[in-house]
Each structure stands twice: as C-alpha cells, then as structure tokens.
C-alpha cells in the first residue's frame, strides 16, 4: 500500500509498505477524510528525538475518519464497513497508568500518542496511508453519526479534544474571565471550549485576521493583537482593570509565554497549557508574579484525551449543535494524492489558512 512518510528528519515522501494486520483486539481502517496538523510538520522538520531512537520510514498523520476494513477476532462493536472516527491518542488501556487516571501516559509519558510517532518504542505508522492500524478498536474507535460529515468529524480527533482540554484544565469559574494565548486551530477550539465550559469574558491573543474573525465567532469578546500591543500582559491587565483573569489557556508561543501567563492570572487562578514546546531548556515562572511561590497560581499542561468515550462525547457536542468545528476548515482537498499539498500548507501558513482537510472518498 502507499503512504506519505517521513523517510528521515527533514524529508517526507510517498512510500510503499505492506498493509498492516490486526491483532485480536485491533482494526484496520482506510481513511475517508484526514487532516494534517502542525505537529506533523514538527515531526518532520524539528527532529525532536535522537535519530537512533527513531524508525524510518514512518508514515505521517494522526487525524482521520475512516472505514473499517478488517477487525481482529475479539473486536465486538465494530465490523468491516463501519464508518469510524479515530482519535489522535489511542492508548493501551491495559496499563497501570490508566488505573492512575491518565490514559494519555499509558505505558509512559505521552505514550498514548502512537500514530506517526517516530519512536521505535511506542510509535507506529500514521493515517496518511491507504490503510492504517488501530489498537484496541472497541476502546479507541467511535462510530461516525450519520448527521456529521467526515471532514467535520475529523476536527474532533485532535483540534477539538486538544483545545477543549485546555478549557478543562483551566478551572474556569462559571462566568469567569479567560485569556487564550494563540488562536491557531487549537487555540480557536480552546476559545470554543472556554465558552462551552461557562466562561463569561474571553480575551483572545492573536493577530492573523482570519483567525481573529474565527475567534470572535467561537466566543472571544476581546482581541489582543500582538502587533498593536507588544506588551500582551500589560494590555490584558489594562483590559481587566488591573485584576487579571481567572484562567489562562496557552495555545501557542515559545517557552517565554509562561511569563505572560503567570503575570496575567489572578491569585487562585489557573494557567493551562496545551501547546507543544519544541525548543528551549526551561519554561520560566516569574518569581515575583508567582507570589514568591505562594500566590496559588496553579500551572497545568497536558496531552489531549483520546479513546472512544471522548470521541463519542465530542461528536455529541457537534451533533447537538453545541459547537461547529467546520468553521476551522479553510482549505478542502479531494483525493488521497493531495495529502502532501495539504500538509505543506501547515508549513507555509498562507494568510487565509486555519485548517485544511483532505477528503479521500465521498
């Protein structure tokens, strides 16, 4: 079968590989719609892991809706022909880490991330292939409701679950004020998530006009544009009469964003990170604004939840009209062969881009 793969750090191309086989609890799925993600770009172009720990070629992609083509002997709830939503995070549910409460880290820190993960240990091929392998299908797949288009549902697999997780981590009081730093597709879903979880005022930090408009659509009440207000923290304190915000969601920026976040959050408030930090040795917590260690400004950060129940609940939010992620999709491609073109958009970031999808089959 064909797949679009990283053949080495810095280099991605079409490859031929054998079609995967399911274990007794697994499924093989062929994609109906996929979306590239900024982290695919990170994977290829940032060399986040030592080369000797990685396996090449590694097929890219972790956002997909597909059709089941084969299932293992012990799979109960899915059969060939079923249309399914595949979460980016597909944990091994049989680990003590799950008993501890964090399936994202089942088998080790971040080990719930398998698709397109280049590590030999824990990683596997992604969804930019004619067929891909899903571990523990009954626990990791969700049925695609008839009411939802595949290209819309694909937004649930990573963008929604990640952005909403920011809101979940942020301990937003009902009617509280939230700042969302970064309004790419994940930040936009963080805005939507903050609204879904009861925020009153939502201050979004970003500057690209296409994103600013979408942020307002998803619930932002104030926009802080870095170009107009390079001192983001000062501007947010000004907007809030010096008080700051109840919760901050970090959805972009480099490690120094932590300085801004801690400055603007009230004592007793929470900073929630969902951003992947690809470089820098440390995230600096500013000592004075952290109350010399005693301000009760809580700092959290975590990988998005995956698994079947999470997908089912996110799909319900779409189905019942609580959120419409289709507003994220600015570029639609048709056909399997368009995957590279869609992917490189995430690298080049044209002015009008939020998120592309590739519709492989209608």
Q: Which stretch binds its own copies (CB under 8 A): 182-190, 208-216, 269-277, 343-351?
A: 269-277
| Residue 57, preceding peptide bond in cis (omega within 30° of 0) | yes
53 binds its own copies (CB under 8 A): no
CB of 317 to its own copies, least distance (A): 5
Among 10, 209, 280, 335, which residue interacts with its own copies (rule: CB under 8 A)?
A: 280
Strands 2-8 and 265-273: unpaired
Interacting positions 189-248 with its own copies (CB under 8 A)? 193, 195-202, 221
Minimum CB distance to its own copies smaller for 287 or for 334: 287
**Beta carbons within 8 Å of 20's beta carbon, 6+ residues apart:** 28, 125, 131, 132, 133
- Spatial separation of the C-alpha atoms in residues 328 and 333, rounded to whole Å: 14
How many residues interact with its own copies (rule CB under 8 A)? 86
**Beta carbons within 8 Å of 74's beta carbon, 6+ residues apart:** 24, 25
Minimum CB distance to its own copies smaller for 14 or for 49: 49
285 binds its own copies (CB under 8 A): yes
Minimum CB distance to its own copies smaller for 91 or for 356: 91
Among 228, 241, 282, 362, which residue interacts with its own copies (rule: CB under 8 A)?
A: 282
Among 33, 44, 154, 274, which residue interacts with its own copies (rule: CB under 8 A)?
A: 274
Q: Which stretch binds its own copies (CB under 8 A): 116-124, 145-153, 266-274, 332-340?
A: 266-274
- Which residue, among 234, 259, 262, 237, has the nearest Cα to 248 in the 3D structure? 262
Q: Residue 107 corresponds to which tokens in the numbers above?
A: 């088998």
358 binds its own copies (CB under 8 A): no
What is the radius of gyration, based on Cα positions, of the chain?
A: 20
- Are 161 and 184 within 8 A, CB to CB? no
- Are 80 and 69 within 8 A, CB to CB? yes
CB of 304 to its own copies, least distance (A): 8
CB of 361 to its own copies, least distance (A): 27
């Amino acid at each position: 079968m064909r797949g679009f793969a990283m053949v080495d750090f810095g280099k991605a191309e079409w490859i031929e590989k054998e079609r995967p086989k399911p274990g007794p609890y697994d499924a093989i799925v062929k994609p109906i719609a996929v979306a590239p993600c900024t982290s695919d770009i990170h994977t290829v172009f940032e060399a986040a892991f030592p080369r000797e720990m990685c396996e090449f070629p590694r097929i890219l992609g972790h956002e997909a809706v597909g059709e089941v083509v084969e299932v293992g002997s012990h799979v109960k709830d899915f059969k060939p022909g079923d249309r399914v939503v595949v979460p980016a995070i597909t944990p091994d549910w049989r680990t003590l880490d799950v008993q501890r409460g964090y399936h994202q880290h089942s088998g080790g820190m971040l080990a719930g991330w398998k698709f397109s993960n280049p590590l030999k240990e824990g990683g596997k091929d992604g969804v930019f292939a004619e067929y891909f392998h899903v571990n523990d299908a009954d626990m990791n797949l969700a049925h695609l409701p008839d009411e939802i288009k595949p290209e819309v549902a694909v937004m649930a697999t990573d963008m929604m679950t990640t952005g909403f997780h920011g809101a979940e981590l942020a301990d937003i009081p009902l009617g509280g004020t939230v700042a969302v730093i970064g309004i790419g597709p994940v930040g936009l879903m963080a805005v939507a998530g903050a609204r879904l979880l009861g925020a009153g005022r939502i201050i979004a930090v970003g500057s690209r006009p296409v994103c600013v408009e979408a942020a307002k659509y998803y619930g932002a009440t104030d926009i802080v544009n870095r170009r107009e207000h390079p001192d983001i923290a000062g501007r947010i304190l000004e907007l809030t009469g010096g008080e700051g915000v109840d919760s901050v969601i970090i959805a972009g920026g480099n490690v120094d964003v932590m300085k801004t976040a801690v400055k603007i959050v009230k004592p007793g408030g929470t900073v929630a990170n969902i951003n992947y930090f690809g470089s820098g040795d440390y995230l600096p917590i500013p000592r004075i604004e952290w109350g010399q260690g005693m301000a009760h400004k809580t700092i959290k950060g975590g990988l998005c939840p995956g698994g079947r129940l999470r997908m089912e609940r996110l799909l319900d939010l779409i189905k019942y009209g609580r959120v419409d992620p289709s507003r994220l999709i600015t570029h639609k491609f048709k056909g399997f062969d368009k995957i590279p073109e869609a992917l490189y958009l995430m690298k080049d970031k044209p002015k009008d881009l939020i998120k592309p999808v590739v519709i492989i089959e209608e």
